[in-house]
Structure 1
Amino acid sequence: MKLTIHGAARQVTGSMHLLQVGQYKILVDCGLDYEKDRSIQSNENFPFDPAEIDVVVLTHAHIDHSGNLPTLVRMGFEGQILCTPPTADLTELLLLDSVSLFMRKAQSGRKNRRGKFNSGSQPLYLQKHVMDTVERFVTIGFNRPFKVNGDIELTFIPIGHLLGAASAVFKVTEDGIEKSIAFTGDVGRKNYPVLDDPSELPDVDYLVTESTYGGRYHTKDKSVEQTLMETIEKACIKEQGRLIIPAFSIGRTQSLVYSLNKIFSSGLLPPVKVFVDSPLAMRSTEVFRKYHYLVNAEAQDFYNRRGDEFEFDNLTYVETLKDSRQVSNYYEPCVIISSAGMLDGGRIQDHLFYNIQNYYCTILFIGYCAKGTLGHRLLRGDPIVHIKDRDLSVYATIKQTDVLSAHGDHDDLMNTVKQLDKGKLKNVFLVHGEMQSMQAFADALTEDGYPVVIPENGVTYLLN
């Protein structure tokens, strides 16, 4: 059995791991890599022949895990893509949204003399490739062992983080010897709005785990509701201004809306208009409703007592671009939730364009922003930012909170490993994190006696 980390090695995005059992090749995740100033087209430079991959296992829908699947299909992959049912539905939405982003960037790029887009503006894939990808989805429920072939068994274990997200656990028989390896995907956190806590993994010989929050700890002195109440009270009630929250449409927005529902339906704050300006958020919320049996017990109880978690008075879902522009002309205090979370696309850029120089506007970041993104530049305090072909001074208040981060922190990551039998575990491979976080996580594991590897990109490890 061989393992090669082809993505998210010593960085956060672009998860892509090759597990080879004999001649059989399994690709675990196939995400977009948008770090280190890479052009989007560089994602088609696979370090292997896509046609030689036998099967893909997808841990969850987020684009840094799923976003390069259509490129894989476009370049020759013909096998199945195994995932949970919610992951299949959410991934389809995200991939179609990616096509829209690619096309907008292409249309804004320069054309050559023949009227065709320059190579740097070409879409990475088109809607046709997304639909070809969707046709390859084969869905598997949680905790149901699935025979990939005669020697390989796959089980999806709930891991929190996002509806449908799973750790992929493989049992492999090779030369008459049984081996096991688990890929955590992204580890969720306990008591997260809407989602169940991560489940304990079975004992395995090898573990490939994310390390996003290695060495870092989430705020524990305030709850999600307390943080939101304090921010809304200051920005919208005392200052009579507006609060803009960049949020990923899938997962983060649903947890945020549910938390706001609890606040306003309980009368903890005076009514404030809330706009969710994201068609993708609307469609993904329908997926959450479709798989309502997978939300946590608290959300189900709220539904039974008060109705839909994702609807409340003064909440408006904004669908059309015309309606979105009208939100900019709404001059009463309000909360605007819009995508994308890192500000590098979507309607959020329009809201920023009109509000970044507004002293009575607060921008609250509730998630990770990769280096090089507009969100990252705002968070590091750049006084001037470039938005929609203009350089604008930053007068709005910039704030950040981690209470709605869907990633487990250092303690959660450590607990994920410590639940496993140390005597059986031969190696822990750290991926999906900045080098500083990986090293902090590795140091803590090593101190506790765990064998740890921080793999380099493209290096193959023999798993005996």
Structure 2
Amino acid sequence: MKLTIWGAAKQVTGSMHLLEVGQYKILIDCGLDYEKTTRQEENEIFPFKPAEIDVVVLTHAHIDHSGNLPTLLRMGFEGQILCTAPTADLAELLLLDSVNLFMGKMRKKGRRSRAGSGPRPLYLQKHVMETAGQFVTINFNKPFRLNGDIELQLVPAGHLLGAASAVFKINENGVIKTIAFSGDIGRKDYPVIVNPQPLPQVDYLVCESTYGGRYHSREETIEATLIRTIEETCIKTPGRLIIPAFSIGRTQALVYSLNKIFSTGKLPPVKIFVDSPLANYATEVYRKHHAYLNEEAKSFYNHNGDEFEFDNLHYVQNMKESKSLSNYLEPCIIVSSAGMLEGGRIQDHLYHNLQNYYCTILFVGYSAKGTLGHRLLRGDQFVHLRDRELAVYAKITRTDTLSGHADHDDLVSLVTSQDKRQLKSVFLVHGEPESMRTLEADLTTKGYSVTVPEKGETFIL
């Protein structure tokens, strides 16, 4: 059995791991690498022949795990893509959105280029639809036999609707070997999403390390944070609360949390606008796969009805409605994408509200260095937006209570639940080098064998 780490090695994006059992080749995730040092077209260069891959296992829908699947097909892959049903539906939405982003970049850079053209898209809508046609969905915790020697089991990972860890049981020449790929691990008691399930005992573990060395605050719940912020912004003063949120996962968690607050009368009514076409589609996927929600959300549904619909909540349907929000003068809450402010309708709302003393911008997710979100969070008094320098008079605040990733302690718990006498090695992926080093040091002191692979490094297991 041979493992090669082809993506998310000492970085976060581009997850892609190749597991070879004899001549049978399994690709675990096929994510888009969008690190700043990576050119978009580099994603077309695979370090193996796509046509030789027998099957792909997709842990969850996020683009850094699914975003290069259509390129893989375009380059010759013809096999099945195995995942849960929610992952298949959400991945299709995100891949179609990627096409829109590719086309937008091409048009934008084409206008600036003397040659009159920008970078060509990695794939088009037809390639996404071909990819969707190769999804084969399997249930959680149900063994699925890939061939006579290899069995796959998807274990709930939290993090996102349908997200899974992939656990393989392999008979290699009469010897049983087990290996798990964590995917992205979520937090316990996260709105709507099930808790990550402990992994069965394995021989090898490929583990994410996104929040290595980082800890979530546990002093306040998301509901308490929202109540306090809404009171200060929209009730005590006639202000506007803007919440940049990723369309899939974060927005649904927010809407459900707001539903619990307002439907139980914890605050007087405030108008709420969800302004993201992708979020609207994703919410329909959450409704479709209601059986995958956590027990709290199901109980709420039984007593109160739809988790994602309540009085004073309005899903913005088109650009005309979106633009009209700048003329809405009553106190309100606007939830819009993108979460790091690097595009999407959120930029319209920022443009009209950054200089509004009665506006609060509440960040509920991570903002990478170099993004507009990062500049606002570090306290820049002026930011560049739409060819203008805008003074920042709005209040900028943040909370990590809606972060969808397991923190350092959670990751350590995931690994240490494994018997160190049987777990031969832990491979850390999907994290910044500093995060990996911190997590590696902690696990090593606890007696575990830990490796931080280089990109392209191969291990015989």
TM-score (norm 1): 0.96
> Distance in 2 between the 1:51 and 1:388 partners?
44
Instruction: Work out which of the residue numbers 128, 131, 134 in structure 2 matches 1:130.
Output: 128
1:107-128 per-position Cα deviation (integer Å, ceiling 9, x unaligned): 222259998623x3x2221101
Question: For structure 1, which segment, 24-33 or 308-317, has the greater mean C-alpha deviation from structure 2 after superposition?
Answer: 24-33
- Residue identity in the other structure for 1:45: I
1:252-401 → structure 2 map (5 Å cutoff):
252-401=250-399
Q: Is the 8 A contact 1:57 1:81 kept in 2?
A: yes
The aligned residue for residue 104 of structure 2 is: 104
- Residue identity in the other structure for 1:406: G
Question: For structure 1, which segment, 253-262 or 98-107, has the greater mean C-alpha deviation from structure 2 after superposition?
Answer: 98-107
The aligned residue for residue 5 of structure 2 is: 5
Query: 1:69: how far off?
Result: 0.9
> Distance in 2 between the 1:114 and 1:452 partners?
50
Secondary structure (helix, strand or coil) at the match of 2:184 reads coil
> Distance in 1 between the 2:259 and 2:122 partners?
38
1:363-386 per-position Cα deviation (integer Å, ceiling 9, x unaligned): 111112233332223223333333
1:51-78 per-position Cα deviation (integer Å, ceiling 9, x unaligned): 2222111000111111111111112211
- Residue 31 of structure 1 pairs with residue 31 of structure 2: yes
1:94-173 → structure 2 map (5 Å cutoff):
94-110=94-110, 117-118=117-118, 120=119, 122-173=120-171
Q: Is the 8 A contact 1:17 1:27 kept in 2?
A: yes
- Residue 93 of structure 1 pairs with residue 93 of structure 2: yes
Q: Is the 8 A contact 1:4 1:459 kept in 2?
A: yes
1:89-138 per-position Cα deviation (integer Å, ceiling 9, x unaligned): 111111111111221222222259998623x3x22211011001101101
- Residue identity in the other structure for 1:80: Q
Query: 1:199: how far off?
Result: 0.8
1:198-225 per-position Cα deviation (integer Å, ceiling 9, x unaligned): 1111100000111111121111111110
The aligned residue for residue 192 of structure 1 is: 190
> Distance in 1 between the 2:374 and 2:54 partners?
38
Q: Is the 8 A contact 1:428 1:452 kept in 2?
A: yes
1:148-181 per-position Cα deviation (integer Å, ceiling 9, x unaligned): 1222111000111111000000111222211110
> Distance in 1 between the 2:453 and 2:114 partners?
45
Question: For structure 1, which segment, 368-377 or 139-148, has the greater mean C-alpha deviation from structure 2 after superposition?
Answer: 368-377
> Distance in 2 between the 1:384 and 1:125 partners?
37
- Residue 439 of structure 1 pairs with residue 461 of structure 2: no
The aligned residue for residue 19 of structure 1 is: 19
Query: 1:320: how far off?
Result: 0.7
- Residue identity in the other structure for 2:93: L
The aligned residue for residue 460 of structure 2 is: 462
The aligned residue for residue 65 of structure 1 is: 65
Cα distance change of structure 1 residues 115 and 319 upon mapping to structure 2, 3 Å threshold:
farther
> Distance in 1 between the 2:113 and 2:407 partners?
52
> Distance in 2 between the 1:378 and 1:51 partners?
45
Secondary structure (helix, strand or coil) at the match of 1:110 reads helix
Q: Is the 8 A contact 1:35 1:371 kept in 2?
A: no
1:203-214 → structure 2 map (5 Å cutoff):
203-214=201-212
> Distance in 2 between the 1:339 and 1:168 partners?
30
Cα distance change of structure 1 residues 383 and 14 upon mapping to structure 2, 3 Å threshold:
farther
Secondary structure (helix, strand or coil) at the match of 1:309 reads coil
> Distance in 2 between the 1:113 and 1:405 partners?
38
Q: Is the 8 A contact 1:51 1:76 kept in 2?
A: yes
Question: For structure 1, which segment, 236-245 or 141-150, has the greater mean C-alpha deviation from structure 2 after superposition?
Answer: 236-245
The aligned residue for residue 77 of structure 1 is: 77
Query: 1:7: how far off?
Result: 1.4
> Distance in 1 between the 2:23 and 2:325 partners?
56
Query: 1:37: how far off?
Result: 4.0
1:401-436 per-position Cα deviation (integer Å, ceiling 9, x unaligned): 110111111111111111112111000011111112
> Distance in 2 between the 1:303 and 1:171 partners?
37
> Distance in 2 between the 1:196 and 1:112 partners?
46
The aligned residue for residue 414 of structure 1 is: 412
- Residue identity in the other structure for 1:413: L
The aligned residue for residue 423 of structure 1 is: 421
> Distance in 1 between the 2:417 and 2:79 partners?
34
> Distance in 1 between the 2:343 and 2:459 partners?
37
> Distance in 1 between the 2:389 and 2:204 partners?
49
Query: 1:272: how far off?
Result: 1.0
Identity %: 69
Cα distance change of structure 1 residues 357 and 52 upon mapping to structure 2, 3 Å threshold:
farther
Secondary structure (helix, strand or coil) at the match of 1:193 reads coil
> Distance in 1 between the 2:373 and 2:46 partners?
28
Secondary structure (helix, strand or coil) at the match of 1:200 reads coil
> Distance in 2 between the 1:338 and 1:37 partners?
28
Secondary structure (helix, strand or coil) at the match of 1:235 reads helix
- Residue identity in the other structure for 1:55: V
> Distance in 1 between the 2:112 and 2:302 partners?
59
Secondary structure (helix, strand or coil) at the match of 1:149 reads coil
Q: Is the 8 A contact 1:342 1:376 kept in 2?
A: yes
> Distance in 2 between the 1:19 and 1:389 partners?
48
The aligned residue for residue 48 of structure 1 is: 48
Query: 1:295: how far off?
Result: 0.9
> Distance in 1 between the 2:199 and 2:391 partners?
48
Structure 1 unaligned segments of length 5 or more: list them: none
> Distance in 2 between the 1:106 and 1:274 partners?
34
TM-score (norm 2): 0.96
- Residue identity in the other structure for 1:387: L
- Residue identity in the other structure for 2:457: V
Cα distance change of structure 1 residues 244 and 202 upon mapping to structure 2, 3 Å threshold:
same
> Distance in 1 between the 2:177 and 2:300 partners?
43
- Residue identity in the other structure for 1:153: E
1:25-72 per-position Cα deviation (integer Å, ceiling 9, x unaligned): 211111112223433222222222222222111000111111111111
Q: Is the 8 A contact 1:101 1:345 kept in 2?
A: no
